[in-house]
Amino acid sequence: MTAEQSAQATFAGGCFWCIEAAFEQLDGVSAVTSGYAGGSVEDPTYEQVCSGTTGHAEVVQVTYEPTVVSYPDLLAVFFTVHDPTALNRQGPDVGEQYRSAVFYHDENQRAAAERYIEELEAAGAFDDPIVTEVEPLEAFYEAEAYHQDYYEKNPNQPYCVVNAEPKIRKVREKFSDKVKAEVETPE
């Protein structure tokens, strides 16, 4: 896939290990990079972000081929694998760094994300209001190397078993027509 054929999308939905593992299941996704966005400190560390003082969220930046998997497909996966009604928390993780957010790269992504949220709200998809923020991506900082492909490198780590595997199963079941053929389902 060449740069002209690929696009990027950036999402925050709790721990980046889990969201990364979910998006890596999709055909047409060539890379998922864990990182930080939405804060005020330049090039923050994991420890700084975890302190809750930088304003950053743990995010994943998804590089994808729009002719294979569309931005609306990515939004559908995103809103399926995390709780967009939980303010500043996902599962056991609490704090602004675990907020739900779509960091748009252009006006088309902004409009698509806002429209998707409006459609979910109109359909009554969730019992509580969606709190997902939709904001421009001003800077993306790649997380430390040990965070990249974390689930792939640590599939038996208890946090991954409890938190990432259910997200992976959900993607593989609900979006079976969009999943990479060579990806194995966690048992």
Would you call 160 a catalytic residue per the annotation?
no
Q: Which residues contact 4 (CB under 8 A, 6 or more apart)?
A: none
Q: Please name each of the domains of the chain with its CATH number.
A: 7-178 (3.30.1060.10)
pLDDT at 81: 97
pLDDT at 4: 62
pLDDT at 175: 97
Q: What is the pLDDT along the chain (187 residues), one digit of tens a residue?
A: 455 689 999 999 999 999 999 999 999 999 999 999 999 999 999 999 999 999 999 999 999 999 999 999 999 999 999 999 999 999 899 999 999 999 999 999 999 999 999 999 999 999 999 999 999 999 999 999 999 999 999 999 999 999 999 999 999 999 999 999 865 555 5
CA distance 41 to 161: 32
**Active-site annotation holder among 15, 18, 50, 160:** 15
pLDDT at 104: 98
Q: Which two tokens stand for residue 20?
A: 């990364």
Are 4 and 119 within 8 A, CB to CB? no
